Chain A
Amino acid sequence: MNDNKPILRYNANERTNHWIVAILFMTAGLSGLALFHPVLFWLSHLFGGGPWTRILHPFLGVAMFVFFLGLVFRFWRANFITANDRLWLRRVDRVMLNQEEGVPPIGKYNAGQKLLFWTLLVCMLVLLLSGVVIWRAYFSQLFGIEVIRLSALAHALAAFVLILSIIVHIYAGIWIKGSIGAMLHGWVSRAWARKHHELWYREVTGDKTPGNHGRKEG
C-alpha cells in the first residue's frame, strides 16, 4: 500500500454545499445578531440598514435551512452515536489536551462532531419554525400573540446555541490542522486520516475493498 497518496474526504458537491451553508450562516447570523442586542445593531449597516436587515434576514435563514438539509441527507448516517462515542466523550479531556493515550479510535466523525451535527439540526428546525411565526410581513397574522412571543424567545435561544456551536466548529477546524483543507480542496493525508479518524481510514484503505453501498464515508 502506498503510504503517500492522499484521501478524498469531501467531494466537490459536499464541499460546495458546506460552504453555501457557511456563507448563508454568516449572513443570516450577522443580520440576526444586529437585531439580537442593541450593541450589535451597527451590523445592520452591512445589509443596507435596519429595514433591509429585517427584510433579508428571514430569506437568508430559509435558504440556510434548505441547503443545510442537503448536508443532513448526505451525512446523517455517519452521525449515529455509538458505544465507542460514549467512551470518546468520557476521554474528551484528553482530546482537548492533544493527548492520544486511551482515546478510542474513531470513524468518519468523532462524538463531538456527531453531537454538533444533531445540535445544528435541532437548532435549524427550531429557527425555521419559530422564524416563520415571527415573520411579520407574511405569517405572523396567522398566529396568536402568545405563540409569537414564545417563538421570538425560542428563535433567539436557538440562534444562541447555533452560534456557540459554530464557534466551536470553526475553532476545531483551526485547531486540528488539515481539517480546513479537507473542506476546502477535499483531500487529507493518510497520516491525518490515521491519526484523527482511524476506523474511517481503515475502512477506506482496508484490504477488503469497501462495498459500493458503503454510504458511511459520504
Chain B
Amino acid sequence: MASQDIIARSATTTVPPSVRQLDEVAKLIDTTKCIGCKACQVACSEWNELRDEVGHNHGTYDNPQDLTAETWTLMRFTEHERDDGNLEWLIRKDGCMHCAEPGCLKACPSPGAIIKHANGIVDFNQDHCIGCGYCITGCPFNIPRISQKDHKAYKCTLCSDRVTVGLEPACVKTCPTGAIVFGTKEEMKVHAAERIVDLKSRGFEQAGLYDPDGVGGTHVMYVLHHADTPKLYAGLPDQPVISPLVGLWKGFTKPLALLAMGAAVLAGFFHYVRVGPQRVEEDEHPTAPDNSVHTVDPAVHVYDPTKPGGQGEQRP
C-alpha cells in the first residue's frame, strides 16, 4: 500500500508522509434502492477472506446479529410503521463511515495503528494494533470490533486494497440494484442530489443525504427517505460527533498534564538547588563518640507496638 498519502496517523504528533494529492472518494449507499439481498455482505466476506461463524436466527433478517471482527458490513432491517398505518421496511447497510474526523484515530494510543489516507479512507493496521479497544471508545458509530482470536481491532477498509489499484469496493461491484455506488466524493454528492430530487418528486418530502458535519463529513454516505430522522434506520445517529468526553480525554489536556508532571519534577529539583535539603543538625555534629556504631538498647523496641516481630530488628 502507498505510504505517501497518509494525512492522519494515530498517536503521532508530527505530520505523516502526505505529499501525494488524491481526490476524496466516497461510497454512496442509497437505502431507497436497497432490497436487502445481502450480496454486499457476501462480497465483503469473499474479497476479504472472512468467514464468520454461522449463527442462529433471532427472529429478524439481521444475520449475524451484529458487526464482528469477521463481519465488516451488515444489513440492518427496521420495520417502521408510518403515521398513516403503512409499514416501511428500512434497510441500512451498516459499517465504517470513514469519517473525515475519525474518533477511532483520535482515541488510538498506538502510533500508526490507524491511518487516514488522502482519499479519505480510514484504515486499521492490525500489525500496530495493541488491542486496547480505545477505537471503540472513540467511534461515534459503534463500528470497530476486537477479534477474540488475535485481540486486534477490525472494521471495513473501504476495500483500500482495491481502491488503490483503481477498483471499486467489493460491495459496490456486487450490488445488483445499483444501491451502492462509488466515486469521488463530489461525484457522489451530485449523484445523491439527483436521487433526492427524484425521491421528493415521488412523495418522500424528507429525502436527503446523510453526510454528517459533526465528524467533518463521511466517506460513506447514505441517501435516506427520512433524512430528518436517521434514528429510524436501526439507530443511525442523528448528530454524530466525537463525544466531548473523548475530546477532553484525548485533547489538549494530555500535553498539559505532561507539562505539569515535568514542571513538578523541575520544581522539586530547583527547590533542592535553592532551598536545599533538611538535615538534622545533631547528626551533623555528633556529640556522642560512638554515634555511628550503636549497641541497640532493648528499650527502644517497645516503641514498635504494632508488630511484636519488629522487636528483633537490629539497626543495620
Contact = CB atoms under 8 A, between A and B. Distances in A.
Interface of A: 2-8, 11-14, 34-41, 44, 49-51, 53-54, 74, 96-98, 134, 136-137, 140, 145-146, 148-150, 152-153, 156, 160, 163-164, 167-168, 170-171, 174-178, 185-187, 189, 191-192, 195-196, 204-205, 209-210, 212-215, 217-218
A205 B302 CA distance: 9
User: Which 5 A-B pairs rank lowest in CB-CB distance, beginning with the nearest?
Assistant: A136-B133, A11-B310, A171-B268, A191-B282, A50-B130
Interface residues of B, number: 64
* Interface class of chain A by DSSP: helix
A148 B243 CA distance: 11
Contacts of B255: 37
Nearest to B146: A136
Contacts of A136: 131-133, 136, 146
26 contacts: A2-B297, A5-B300, A8-B304, A36-B258, A39-B258, A41-B110, A49-B130, A50-B128, A51-B151, A54-B130, A149-B137, A149-B243, A153-B249, A167-B268, A168-B268, A171-B272, A174-B268, A175-B277, A177-B278, A185-B316, A186-B310, A187-B315, A189-B280, A189-B282, A196-B278, A210-B305
Given A35-B132, A218-B305, 16 more contacts: A5-B299, A6-B315, A8-B304, A11-B309, A34-B109, A36-B257, A136-B132, A152-B137, A156-B254, A163-B261, A168-B264, A175-B278, A177-B277, A178-B279, A178-B283, A218-B306
Contacts of B306: 11, 14, 74, 215, 217-218
Contacts of B13: 38-39
Contacts of A218: 305-306
Contacts of B313: 8, 11-12, 186
A38 B130 contact: no
A185 B296 CA distance: 14
B300 A53 contact: no
A51 B152 CA distance: 9
B289 to A, nearest CB: 10
Contacts of A6: 294, 296, 300, 315
Contacts of B109: 34-36, 38, 41
B160 interface: no
Contacts of B249: 149, 152-153, 156
A156 to B, nearest CB: 6
A153 B132 CA distance: 15
B276 interface: yes
Contacts of B132: 35, 54, 136
B152 to A, nearest CB: 9
B2 interface: no
B267 to A, nearest CB: 8
Contacts, number: 189
Contacts of B310: 8, 11-13, 186
Given A5-B299, A41-B11, A41-B111, A164 B278 contact: no
B272 A175 contact: yes
B244 to A, nearest CB: 9
Contacts of B276: 98
A145 B137 contact: yes
B307 interface: yes
Interface string B121-150: 000000010111110110000100010000
B302 A192 contact: no
A197 to B, nearest CB: 12
B87 interface: no
B12 interface: yes
Contacts of A150: 245
A167 B263 CA distance: 10
B280 A204 contact: no
A34 B109 CA distance: 8
Interface in B228-246: 243, 245-246
Contact of B305 (A2, A3, A163, A214): A214
Contacts of A53: 130
B133 A191 contact: no
Contacts of A96: 271, 275
B11 A54 contact: no
B165 interface: no
Interface string B77-89: 0000000000000
Contacts of B305: 210, 212-215, 217-218
Contacts of B281: 191
Nearest to A44: B130
A54 B131 contact: yes
B57 interface: no
